[in-house]
A and B are shown apart, each in its own frame.
Chain A
Amino acid sequence: MAALVCRGLCAAYGGREALHGVDFELPAGAFLAVVGPNGSGKSTLIKALLGLIKPSAGTVKLEEGVGRSGIGYMPQQSESRGDFPATVYETVISGRLGRLGLRPFYGRQDRREAEKNLRLMGLWELRTRAFRELSGGQRQRTLLARALCAVDGMLVLDEPAAGLDAETQERMYSLLRDVNKKEGATVVMVTHDLVRGAAAATHVLELDGGQKYFGEAGQWPGRAQYGSGEK
C-alpha cells in the first residue's frame, strides 16, 4: 500500500517554478530521504505535501487514513522563532493540536502523549525551560518531540540534523529509525547529509528541480558516489 503518491507534481515557490514533473509512489512504512542541492525543490516538495502551498500542476496524495492531522511535521530550525516565550512543554504539547477537534483544551491523553515524547527525547528534565534558552541540539529534539506528538502515520522532517555535531546527528537518525520501525510511521526527510542521512533511509528521492532518481536506497547511484555510511 502506498503512503504517499505524487503524480506529475509541479509547484512554484516565491513566484518561480521550483519543482516540476515529480512522480513517485512511496510504500507505507518506508523511510524516504529527499536529497539534492540548495534550490532543488526539496522544501517546496515538503510544503506541497503538507498543503502549505498548492501544486501548480499534478497531485500529491496521502494514504487514506492519514489525514492532515496525522502528519507530524518538523520544520527547519531556522524557521522557528528564537525569541518566543514558550517552555519546552508548551511547545511539545502543541503537537497535539490536530487532535483537539472541537475541544478547547488538552486532556489527559494529550498530556500523557506529551510526557512520553519528552521522555523519549530526553527532555523531561528540561520541560520548564524556555525554548529560546536551549542549545541547537535540544531545540531540534524539542521540535521532533512536538512532531512525534502529532504523528499518526507519517513524519515529515526538513533538515532535522542541520547544525548538529556528528554525535547528536547520529542519535537523531537512530531515533528516527526507531520511530520508523517500532511505530511503523512512514518518514519523509529532507536532508543535506548524503552519507549518514541517506544511510538511514530505505528509499531515496533525488531532486534537481525535476526528479533525478526515485527508488530503493540500495540502488541509488549516489550511494556509491558519496560513499555509504553502512551499518
Chain B
Amino acid sequence: MIDLIAEMLSYKFLVRAATVGLMVSLCAALLGVSLVLKRYSMIGDGLSHVGFGALAAAVATGASPLGLSIPVVIVAAVLLMRLTDGSGIKGDAAIGLISTSSLAAGVTAISLSSGINTDVCNYMFGSILAMSKGDVRLSVATSAAVLLLFLLCYNRIFAVTFDENFARATGVNAGRYNMVIAALTGVTIAVGMRLMGALLISGLIIFPAVTSMRLFKSFRGVVLSSAAVSLSSYLAGLVLSYAAGLPAGASIVLVNLVFFLAFAAAGRIR
C-alpha cells in the first residue's frame, strides 16, 4: 500500500490531480451541505452542464478553459438561483432547460471545431491528465478563496439555510448570501469538472452532505463530517483508480456511494 502511494507520488500529474482534487472536494462538500438542505442539489448538476458548454466553447475558440468557464458558470449560478427563488418557470424545469441547452451548445461547438473525439469523453467523465501547472495555481487560489469565504460566513450561512425568513427579519441580506453560495458553487464546479467530468462533479456536492446527514444531528457535525467523507472518498477513489486502472471520476463517486451506504446502515442501527 505504502509502495503504491509512493509510486503514485512520483508522478507529477497525479500530485497535481490530488492537490486540486482535494481542494475541490473540500469546497464542494462544504457548499453541498447548504445546497442539499435548501433543496438546491440540482443546481450543481445544472451548473456542470453549463461548465461543459463553456469548456467546449473555450476549446473551439482557443480561449483559456478556466478563464472562460469560471465567469460563465458564476453567471449561470446566479441566474439559476434567481429562477429557483422567483415564481416564473418552476426551478427544476428551469435547470433542465439551461443544462440541456448548454450541453447541446457545447457538443455543437466541439463538432464544428474538431469533430467529436476523446476530448469530449474527457470533459464528460473527467481526466486527471487535464491539469497544467497554471491550472493548479488558479485552482488552489480559487479553492482557498471559497474556503475562506465559507469560514467567514459560516454563521450567516447556517442562519440563511436554516430559516431564511428569520435571517431576513433580523436584517441579514439573505439574497446576498444565496448569491455568495451560488457563485462559490459555480467556481468550485468550473475548477473541478475537468478532473471529475461534467456528468460526475455534482456527486462531490450531493454525496458528502446526504451521507453525513444519516449520522449527524448538528449542523457543525454534518459540515465537518462532509468535509472528512469528501476528502477520504477523493483519496481512496484516486488510489483505487490508479491501482485498478479505472477512470478517476467514476471511482471517486463510487467510493462516495460506499460511504453513503455505510453511513445509512450505521444510521439505521443506531
A→B interface (CB under 8 Å): 50-52, 67-69, 71, 73, 75, 79-81, 84-87, 90-91, 94-95, 97-98, 100, 104-106, 128-130, 132-133, 146, 150, 156
* Chain B residues within 8 Å of A146, by CB: 166
Residues on A with beta carbons closer than 8 Å to the beta carbon of B163: 75, 79-81, 94
Instruction: Considering the complex, give the chain B residue whose CB is closest to the CB of A99.
Output: B170
Using A52-B165, A81-B162, A104-B151 as known contacts, say yes or no to A67 and B216 having CB atoms under 8 A apart: no
Q: Which residues of B contact A132 (CB under 8 A)?
A: 217
Most central of A71, A90, A100, A146 by chain B CB within 10 Å: A90
A95 CA to B167 CA, complexed, in Å: 8
- A97 with B162: in contact, given A87-B217, A104-B151 (CB under 8 Å)? no
Q: B118 near A: Cβ within 8 Å?
A: no
29 pairs, A vs B, C-beta closer than 8 Å: A51-B169, A52-B165, A52-B168, A69-B171, A71-B169, A71-B170, A73-B170, A79-B163, A80-B163, A81-B162, A84-B37, A85-B213, A85-B218, A86-B218, A87-B218, A90-B220, A91-B162, A95-B166, A97-B159, A97-B167, A100-B156, A104-B151, A104-B152, A104-B154, A105-B154, A105-B155, A128-B218, A129-B217, A132-B217
- Alpha-carbon gap, A130 to B270, bound state (A): 15
Q: How far is the CB of B112 from chain A (nearest CB, A)?
A: 45
Contact status A85-B222, CB under 8 Å: yes
- Chain A residues, CB < 8 A from B168: 50-52
B158 within 8 A of A: yes
Q: Closest Cβ of chain A: how far from B144's Cβ, in Å? A: 16
Instruction: Pick from B158, B159, B161, B166: contact of A75, CB below 8 A.
Output: B166
Task: With A50-B165, A90-B218, A130-B217 given, name 4 new contacts (CB 8 A).
Answer: A81-B162, A85-B217, A104-B151, A156-B169
B135-160 interface code vs A (CB 8 A; 1 in, 0 out): 00000000000000001111110110
Verify A106–B218 contact, CB threshold 8 A.
Answer: no
| Chain A contact residues: helix, strand, loop or mixed | mixed
Residues of chain B within 8 A (CB-CB) of A68 are: 169-171
The answer, among A69, A104, A105, A129, for a CB contact under 8 Å with B170, is A69
Q: Do the beta carbons of B217 and A94 come within 8 Å of each other?
A: no
Q: How far is the CA of A133 from the CA of B216 in the complex (A)?
A: 12
Chain B residue nearest in CB terms to A98:
B170
A133 close to B217 (CB less than 8 A): yes
CB distance from B208 to the nearest CB of A (A): 13
CA distance A150 to B163 in the complex (A): 14
Q: Is B221 an interface residue, CB under 8 A from the partner?
A: yes
CA distance A100 to B222 in the complex (A): 23
- Shortest CB distance B44–A (Å): 19
A105 to B151, CA, bound (A): 9
| Cβ-closest 7 pairs across A and B | A130-B217, A98-B170, A68-B171, A73-B169, A50-B169, A87-B218, A69-B171
Query: How many angstroms between the C-alpha atoms of A85 and B209 in the bound complex?
Result: 11
Residues of A within 8 Å of B222, CB to CB, are 85
Give, as a whole number of angstroms, the nearest-CB distance from B97 to chain A: 24
Per the bound structure, the CA–CA distance linking A75 and B166 in Å amounts to 7
The CA of A64 and the CA of B156, in the complex, are separated in Å by 26
Interface status of B79 (Cβ within 8 A of chain A):
no
Please indicate the chain B residues that have their CB under 8 angstroms from the CB of A86 in the complex. Answer: 158, 162, 218-219
Docked-complex contact A97 and B219, CB < 8 angstroms: no
- CB neighbors of A among B181-205 (8 A): none
In the complex, which residues 15-42 of chain B have their Cβ closer than 8 Å to any Cβ of chain A?
A: 37
Q: Which B residues are CB-close (under 8 A) to A67?
A: 171
B172 an interface residue at 8 Å Cβ cutoff? yes
Return A123 CB to nearest CB of chain B, in Å: 15
Q: Considering only CB atoms, which chain B residue lies closest to A88 in the complex?
A: B218
**Given A50-B169, A52-B169, A69-B171, does the pair A97, B155 have CB atoms closer than 8 Å?**
yes
For residue B154, which residues in chain A have a CB less than 8 angstroms away from its CB?
104-105
Query: Which residues of the partner chain A approach B172 to less than 8 Å between Cβ atoms?
Result: 97-98
Could you tell me the distance in whole angstroms from the C-beta of B57 to the nearest C-beta in chain A?
38
A106 to B152, CA, bound (A): 11
**B13 shortest CB reach to chain A, Å:** 37
